[in-house]
């Protein structure tokens, strides 16, 4: 698969600028200007998008205002999707959090798991199923 396959907000079969859709002049093959190139990159390519999100947040956590151990959080989770180039990297979907706030957020939204029975209960259950009644 090509990186274009992970971007669904643009139709790459239509000729024109990747960001604004204006026609391309001369030898330009992707974007009509440096501004459009940057806007496309900071909304699709992870390295550029994360850097832009950090700068937009002034290198501060959006929850507590801290400025150390910052991470960029996807509001709509990737859930195993290709991370490097995707529409999930749009700036509206990114939020800057410190590590503590990021963990707290994920712990809050994580679905609770069903409790697992203790090992001894499983062994007891297996033993009672295999035990045969005496004569």
Tens digit of pLDDT for each residue in 94-107?
999 999 999 999 88
The model scores a pTM over 0.85: no
In DSSP terms, 74 is beta-bridged to: 94
Tens digit of pLDDT for each residue in 4-25?
777 778 777 888 888 898 988 8
Q: Residue 35 pLDDT more than 90? A: yes
Type and span of the H or E element at 56: helix 46-56
Mean per-residue pLDDT, 117-129? 63
- Give yes or no for a contact between 15 and 23, defined as CB atoms under 8 angstroms apart: yes
Residue extents of the structural domains in the chain: 3-130
Distances (CA, A) of 32 to 7, 8, 25: 19, 20, 7
Q: Who contacts 91 (Cβ-Cβ below 8 Å, separation ≥6)?
A: 42, 43, 49, 52, 53, 56
């Amino acid at each position: 698969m090509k990186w274009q396959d992970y971007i669904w907000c643009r139709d790459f079969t239509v000729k024109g600028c990747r960001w604004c859709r204006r026609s391309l002049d001369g030898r330009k093959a992707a974007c009509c200007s440096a501004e459009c190139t940057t806007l496309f990159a900071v909304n699709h390519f992870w390295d550029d998008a994360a850097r832009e999100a950090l700068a937009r947040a002034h290198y501060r956590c959006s929850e507590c205002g801290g400025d150390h151990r910052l991470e960029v959080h996807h509001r709509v989770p990737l859930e195993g999707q290709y991370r490097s180039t995707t529409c999930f990297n749009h700036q509206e979907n990114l939020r800057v959090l410190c590590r503590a706030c990021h963990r707290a957020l994920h712990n809050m939204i994580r679905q609770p798991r069903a409790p697992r029975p203790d090992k001894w209960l499983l062994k007891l259950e297996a033993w009672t199923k295999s035990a045969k009644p005496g004569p």
